Amino acid sequence: MPGAQIFVILLAIWFLIRGPSPDPTVTFFKRWLNADPATNPVAYDAPLRDDGKLLYVSTQEADQGTDVRAAMTGVISKVSDHSVELVSDVNKEGVHVTIDYSGLSSVTVHAGDRVVCGAKIGTMERALRVHFANNNGPLAPPQILRPAPSAWQGFRNSWETGENFKANELPPYIIKKHE
């Protein structure tokens, strides 16, 4: 048994030194946005493609209040009760990326604030839509991402008009965590 105890102690020390594992989605965003630093607005979560935007869906009530992060370093250009717009510093191509976050339950930044990549800008409601654009227009989400289910269409339209929605209005299979 002493050998097992030593192993557990060494394993605990290794985890303390290394910390939590890195978010595997970060590399995807660095490549897609052609920027470093760049990160996923919702850590460890794979978004869905939805009409030219990224869609994050909270899977249960406990997920509401999930932190939303700045995908790139830049300046907050617009803020409202449930949305934030960030204009990034230039990426490797020398272009600014405008990132619009819609579906925030709280906003922790103000217009004119300079934020670093990964900084908290707010928390998400049941659904968060993130739209990326540059000087050439919208950046279409890569096809590698799963599309939002077609049953989402009517729900999405009512949500975009500003109507509040409840968890039971989500189609049942959207409530399940997507991989």
Query: Residue 115 gets which letter from DSSP?
Result: E
pLDDT digits (tens, 9 = 90+) for 43-101: 878 888 888 888 888 765 555 678 999 999 999 999 998 899 999 999 999 999 999 99
Bridge partners, residue 123, by sequence: 67, 106
pLDDT digits (tens, 9 = 90+) for 144-177: 888 887 766 445 444 444 444 444 444 443 333 3
Q: Is the pLDDT of residue 178 over 50?
A: no
Nearest to 48 by CA among 132, 153, 154, 129: 129
Return all residues near 83 (Cβ < 8 A) that are at least 6 apart. Answer: 100, 101, 102, 103, 104, 107
**CATH number, position 128:** 2.70.70.10
Return all residues near 145 (Cβ < 8 A) that are at least 6 apart. Answer: 46, 47, 48, 49, 54
> Which amino acid appears at position 171 of this protein?
P
Return all residues near 54 (Cβ < 8 A) that are at least 6 apart. Answer: 41, 47, 48, 129, 130, 131, 132, 141, 145
Tokens of 27: 């590399």
DSSP H or E stretch at residue 56: strand 53-57
What total number of domains does the chain contain? 1
- Residue numbers of the domain that contains 99: 2-175
Return d(Cα 102, Cα 83) in angstroms, integer: 4
Mean per-residue pLDDT, 121-130: 88
Bridge partners, residue 53, by sequence: 50
